[in-house]
Amino acid sequence: MLARQILNNLDLFELASAMYSLCEETGQIDRHSTPRRGGVIAVGVVNQDGEGITFVSTSFGEPGLKFGRYALNAAEKINRLFGRRQEGNDECAASMSADDTLGTFGGCIAFSEGILSECYISISGAPPEIDEALAFVIGERLGFKTPEYANEHIASARELLRGLILG
């Protein structure tokens, strides 16, 4: 499945709503914080030669003035996870190589798309563990082979993203 087709099959309103609800449910939103009403989702599909990625991204919801930072973060997560896997690491999530001191965060999952390809789904806009749970459930809903991965927010994300896939 091509990267653009993946994004075209997602209800981005549903994604924004799920992000907000997860942040609220986990106490990430209070009267002193900026509401998490949107962000950027990026999809990268490894080219058949394995040497590069077809990459697309789009904003969803209302990312506000942070849209540029969210876009950079979503791309960085895919680039870092792809690079580490190219080096032979078997990491499936950007959180496995995240380092707050370097400004790198979790929020991206690598999926098997078939025999010849991998797909990366990256989200930026919420705390990294929520971004990553949402990315995991999106890949799951798209029918990708899911990696072994644990995140306490996955069950809630599954409930919230019931209507994620269009058509």
Q: Give the domains, in start order, of the chain with CATH numbers.
A: 3-27+35-160 (3.30.450)
What percent of the chain is predicted at pLDDT more than 90?
77
Q: Has residue 33 got a pLDDT over 70?
A: no
User: Encoding tokens for residue 114?
Assistant: 């078939």
pLDDT of residue 107: 97
**What mean pLDDT comes out for the span 72-76?**
98
Q: Residue written as tokens 């058509």?
A: 167
The span from the CA of 88 to the CA of 143, in Å, is: 25
Question: pLDDT of 88-141, one tens digit each?
Answer: 999 999 999 999 999 999 999 999 876 558 999 999 999 999 999 999 999 999
Give the C-alpha separation, 108 to 91, whole Å.
Answer: 11
The per-residue pLDDT for 26 is 85
pTM for the structure as a whole: 0.92
